[in-house]
Amino acid sequence: MDLQQDLAGITCPVATPFDDANEIDDDAFTDLLDHLVSGGIDAVFPNGTTGEFASLSPDERRRVLELTVDQIDGDVPVVAGAGATSVAETLEYVDEAAELGADAAVVVPPYFHAANAPAGNERFFEAVADEASLPLLLYNIPACTGGEIAVETVAAVAEHENVIGLKDSSGDLEYFLAAMRATPDDFLLLQGYDALLLPSLRMGADGGVNALSNAVPEAYSELYETAESERGATLQDAIADLFEACGTYGFAPATKAALEDRDVIPSDAVRPPLVTVPEDGREAIEDAVEGVLEA
C-alpha cells in the first residue's frame, strides 16, 4: 500500500456509536463503516477525537479497531488512533494497531503534561517513531493538547522515515500553509478543520480528515473531487452551516446527531463529559444536513 497516495483524499475520523446502556454498539458501528465506504470515503480513522477515544477503555479501543479492520476488509486504509501521554503507552497502541491489521497510526503530543519547549514534542515524536511498527501521522489539535506542534518540530520530525504526514485541526490556515512549505513534497498535509478544507485543497493540501464526513461522506468525497471548480465552493458553503453546529455543540455530539438524523445510527448517545445536542440544536443540524444533501 502506497499511503502517500492512498491517504490523499478524505479520511473519516469515525464516530463510536453507543447503545442505551452506553456500551459500544457493534451493529451500529459496522453500519456506519458501510455508510462511509459506500459514500466514497478514502480512509477511516477509528479511535480519534470524534470517536471519543479519551472516553474509551483500552479494551474498548481494541474492540473498535477490531471491528473496523474486520468490516473494512482492505477496501480503504485504516489509520488507527494511538493517542496517549507517554512514549511507552503510545507505542503499545501502535503495536496493537499493527497486530490487528491497521495500515498506519495517528499520534498526538502529550496532553496534561504538555511540552515545556518545542524540543519536548520533537523528542517525544522521535522516540515513538524510532520504535513504531507502523507509519505515523502527527496530529496537531492544540485545543485538546494544550499547545500546537511547532512548525519547526513538524519539519524536523518529517525527516524521519516512519513519519508520513500531519493532520492539522488547529483551524489556523497560516499554520497549515507554513507546515506545507516546511516539509517535503511527499509529506502528507491533511486539513482537519472542516471549514478550511476547500481553501487548503486549493493551496495544495493532500486531503482532509473531517468529522462531518461521518454524516455526509458523499458531499465530502465530491468536494475533494471538485475542489477547483464552482461546485466545490458550493459544497463548502453548504457544509459551513453544519460545521457551525460542531463549534457550538462539539464534534462528537453534533456528528452523532447528524448521523441519527440520517438514520445511520439509532442513537446520538455520547459519554461524559460530553452531552447530547439539545432539541433546538438538533433542528438546526437537521436543516443543515438537508442543506448539504440538496446542495
Q: Name the strands in the sheet holding 79-81, side by side, starting at the edge strand that comes first in the sequence.
A: 43-45, 10-13, 207-209, 188-191, 163-168, 136-140, 104-107, 79-81
189 in Cβ contact with 176 (< 8 Å): yes
Nine-digit cell at 45? 480513522
* pLDDT (0 to 100) of residue 247: 84
d(CA 212, CA 151): 26
Name, in order, each residue with C-beta under 8 angstroms of 117's C-beta and a sequence gap of 6 or more: none
* pLDDT (0 to 100) of residue 289: 96
Regions of the chain with pLDDT less than 70: 1
* pLDDT (0 to 100) of residue 45: 98
**Catalytic residue set:** 139, 167
Would you call 107 exposed, middle or buried from its count of C-beta atoms within 10 A (0-12, 13-18, 19+)?
buried
* pLDDT (0 to 100) of residue 108: 97
* pLDDT (0 to 100) of residue 151: 98
* pLDDT (0 to 100) of residue 243: 92
* pLDDT (0 to 100) of residue 246: 80
For 186-207, give one letter per residue: b (16+ CB within 10 A) or e: ebbbbbbbbbbbbbbbeeebbb
Which of 178, 208, 175, 211 shows the shortest CA–CA distance to 191? 208
Q: Phi and psi dihedrals of 30, rounded to 5?
A: -70, -35
